[in-house]
């Protein structure tokens, strides 16, 4: 097993096999349903430290470990170690709205390749017609164009295949229900009645909501029937009972409800475009999509998109916007790649830029955007301008696609629509690239090396260097989850996510203060530099538990002398952030205090330079 070590690490850190109810995956992340999520939350930082892990997102619904596109290879091995099957369902109480969005997203995902194939085929046919290689009345054109009709007309059957298991309905009975609704005896038939009662005229093709409601109801009926039906009779009678109950209820109840919801979604789209103008909505969504992905709310537009496709044959807001936004993310990261000098940074920015270009933006958002923040503004500028142009030109998407389905924007031989989309993509990409290049990293990171180099070249200036008190991952002060430190109000400095247990003296000097809880210690150097080491965030609440002082207040210490021993595993287990914060409390007394944020393993290195 190629990923056995990684899988075992993850299992241990989320609380062990016994804490895992289920685990599924999307394109970039593992989604865990846990009995006690706090066990995993306490190890979030340890999970993030795993080289293959990009980030961790925890919410009330699931615990998510973001890995990247290799997750599809990791997931089967993880299930093998857990002794679980691929089809195991997640049993968890969810927010109803969130559960509906998750269902739609998970049901649409398997159909996306077919939708992209339809879009690409439509684009290729449009090119052939435009170049005179085919006529739109030729049998060849008609046959290949039928692929689109095949997908959208039989959309209920596609949804039945992808959603039946998730809703607890037997697969082939779900398909049977969808196929029955599409027969010429029911689909769009007027004056239809059942049991002497009139049925509303409903067109079930090109829609997906009635079948989803029907499958949900079938799943509930299946649960009840399975409890009372003897095993010896189950094979023969359960299918008849399920379809015999579900079909009438779907015709009388879910058909009309689904139609109302579909109409409501259509009205919602028309309201957005008619009230605010489609150009505003496209621009805003293209600018803000990375924020929505970060918040886990990127799927809320799926019902609107599907409703638009099924009702009018195209969609002119969200598919256009997310395609532009994905390329804008790639452009922003390419701008960072061109600006970076550090090879490790170049590798990061280059890889996530390529991933975003391929339509997968999570690695960039969680691996770079959250850390540096300024790329968000680059995408807001570039994506917003690209979306604005597309909205003003009323660009339409004729298929649910991404950059690689760009030819689908030709649609019904609408070449101008295609050209406008290309221009919008170029605007989004180029402007984001330039914005990313110009915005670059926060000044503290960029200026540190420059000022230090200037100091070293001028003998008239003196400097004091402060070493690392502990090995670990460096964090800019702005990222510390404590306003008193992150604001710089207490002085300049940085944070270190520790990888060992002993905090050592970063300078030669005297222990000026040692808090009774041993979670913080102050040292004054021979030059008068006051250094505060604060171990963890809010760890004062632990009242000294897991902290052991190795020196006394007033003691003289040399560089590297042990100061405090900390059981960081227990600190994390207690739910506290273990970050060791080091600041110069009398920053205002010096010309400059410059954190060195380029070292990933800072032990023994010059971590802060104080310009006297």
pLDDT at position 599 over 80: no
pLDDT at 60: 61
Band of the pLDDT at 92, cuts 50, 70, 90?
very low
Q: Which of 188, 151, 126 is nearest to 306 (CA)?
A: 151
Q: Report CA dihedral (355, 361, 362, 363) to the nearest 10 degrees.
A: 30
For the chain, report the end-to-end CA distance as a whole number of angstroms: 56
Q: pLDDT tens digits, residue range 156-192?
A: 898 899 888 878 899 999 999 999 999 999 988 888 8
Q: What is the DSSP string of 62-103?
A: -EEEE--TTHHHHHHHHHHHHT--TTPPP-----HHHHHHHH
pLDDT at 443: 53
| CB proximity list for 577: less than 8 A, separation 6 or greater | 45, 481, 536, 537, 538
Q: Which of 8, 9, 21, 26 is catalytic?
A: 26
Q: Give per-residue burial for 32-45: e unless 16+ CB within 10 Å, then b.
A: bbbeebebbbbbbb
Q: pLDDT tens digits, residue range 540-591?
A: 778 889 999 999 988 999 988 999 999 999 999 888 899 999 999 888 777 6
E strand segments, 174-238: 193-194, 197-198
Point out which residues pair with 556 in neighbouring strands.
Answer: 510
CA distances from 382 to 114, 334, 339, 590 (A): 30, 13, 18, 40
Q: pLDDT tens digits, residue range 260-296?
A: 877 776 677 677 667 766 788 888 888 988 877 765 5
Q: Is 26 a catalytic residue?
A: yes
Q: Which of 527, 495, 525 is nearest to 507 (CA)?
A: 525
Domains with residue ranges and CATH for the chain? 4-93 (3.30.1360.60), 282-443 (no CATH), 448-611 (2.70.70.10)
Q: Which run of H or E residues covers position 25?
A: strand 20-25
pLDDT at 453: 47
Question: What length is written for the chain?
Answer: 612
Q: Is the dihedral of CA 127, 131, 135, 141 positive or negative?
A: negative
Compute CA 259 distance to the chain's CA centroid, rounded to the nearest angstrom: 32
Q: Which residue matches tokens 């049901």? A: 107
Query: What order of strands is seen across the sheet that includes strand 463-467?
Result: 463-467, 606-611, 592-595
Spatial contact of 411 and 417, defined as CB atoms under 8 Å apart:
yes
pLDDT at position 68 over 70: no
Average pLDDT over residues 98-116: 70
Range with top average pLDDT, 53-62, 252-261, 418-427:
418-427
Range with top average pLDDT, 127-131, 418-422, 458-462:
418-422
Q: Which is more confidently placed, 268 or 80?
A: 80
Q: What is the pTM of this model?
A: 0.48
Spatial contact of 396 and 314, defined as CB atoms under 8 Å apart:
yes
Point out which residues pair with 65 in neighbouring strands.
Answer: 30, 56
Mean pLDDT computed over every residue of the chain: 81
């Amino acid at each position: 097993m190629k990923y056995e070590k990684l899988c075992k690490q993850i299992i241990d850190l989320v609380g062990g096999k016994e804490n895992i109810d289920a685990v599924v995956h999307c394109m970039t992340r593992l989604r865990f349903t846990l009995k006690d999520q706090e066990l995993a939350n306490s190890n979030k930082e340890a999970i993030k430290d795993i080289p293959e892990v990009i980030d961790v997102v925890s919410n009330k619904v699931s615990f998510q470990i973001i890995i990247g596109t290799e997750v599809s290879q990791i997931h089967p091995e993880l299930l093998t170690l857990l002794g679980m099957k691929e089809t195991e369902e997640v049993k968890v109480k969810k927010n109803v709205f969130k559960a509906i969005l998750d269902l739609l997203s998970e049901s649409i995902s398997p159909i996306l390749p077919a939708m992209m194939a339809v879009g690409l085929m439509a684009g290729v046919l449009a090119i052939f017609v435009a170049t005179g290689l085919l006529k739109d009345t030729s049998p060849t054109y008609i046959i290949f164009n039928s692929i689109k009709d095949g997908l959208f007309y039989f959309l209920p059957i596609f949804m039945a295949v992808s959603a039946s298991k998730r809703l607890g309905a037997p697969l082939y009975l779900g398909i049977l229900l969808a196929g029955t609704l599409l027969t010429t005896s029911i689909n769009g038939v007027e004056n239809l009645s059942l049991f002497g009662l009139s049925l509303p005229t409903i067109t079930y093709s090109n829609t997906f909501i009635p079948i989803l409601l029907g499958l949900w109801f079938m799943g509930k009926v299946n649960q009840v029937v399975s409890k009372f039906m003897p095993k010896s009779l189950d094979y023969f009678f359960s299918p008849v009972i399920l379809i015999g109950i579900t079909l009438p209820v779907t015709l009388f109840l879910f058909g009309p409800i689904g139609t109302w919801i579909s109409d409501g979604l259509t009205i919602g789209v028309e309201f957005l475009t008619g009230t605010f103008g489609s150009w505003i909505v496209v621009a805003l969504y293209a600018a803000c999509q990375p924020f929505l992905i970060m918040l886990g709310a990127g799927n809320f537009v799926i019902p609107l998109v599907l409703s638009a496709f099924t009702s009018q044959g195209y969609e002119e807001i969200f598919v256009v916007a997310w395609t532009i936004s994905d390329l804008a993310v790639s452009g922003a990261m390419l701008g960072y790649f061109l600006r970076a000098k550090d090879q490790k940074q170049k590798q990061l920015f280059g890889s996530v830029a390529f991933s975003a270009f391929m339509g997968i933006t999570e690695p960039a958002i969680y691996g770079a955007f959250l850390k540096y923040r300024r790329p968000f503004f680059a995408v807001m500028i570039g994506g917003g301008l690209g979306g604005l142009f597309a909205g003003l030109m009323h660009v339409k998407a004729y298929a649910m696609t991404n950059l690689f389905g760009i030819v689908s924007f030709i649609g019904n031989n609408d070449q101008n629509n295609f050209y406008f989309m290309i221009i919008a993509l170029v605007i989004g990409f180029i402007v984001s690239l330039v914005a990313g290049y110009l915005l670059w990293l926060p000044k503290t990171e960029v200026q540190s090396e420059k000022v230090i180099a200037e100091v070293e070249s001028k003998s008239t200036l003196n400097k004091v260097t402060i070493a690392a008190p502990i090995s670990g991952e460096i964090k800019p002060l702005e990222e510390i989850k404590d306003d008193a430190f992150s604001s710089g109000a207490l002085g300049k400095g940085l944070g270190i996510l520790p990888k060992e247990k002993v905090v050592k003296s970063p300078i030669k000097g005297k222990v000026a203060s040692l808090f009774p809880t041993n979670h913080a210690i102050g040292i004054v150097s021979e030059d008068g530099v006051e250094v505060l080491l604060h171990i963890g965030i809010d760890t004062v609440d632990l009242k000294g538990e897991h902290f052991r002082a190795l020196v006394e207040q007033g003691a003289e210490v040399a560089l590297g002398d042990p100061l405090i021993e900390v059981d960081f595993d227990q600190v994390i287990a207690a739910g506290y952030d273990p970050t060791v914060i080091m600041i110069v409390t009398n920053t205002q007394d010096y010309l400059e205090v410059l954190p060195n944020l380029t070292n990933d393993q800072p032990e023994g290195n010059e971590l802060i330079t104080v310009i006297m």
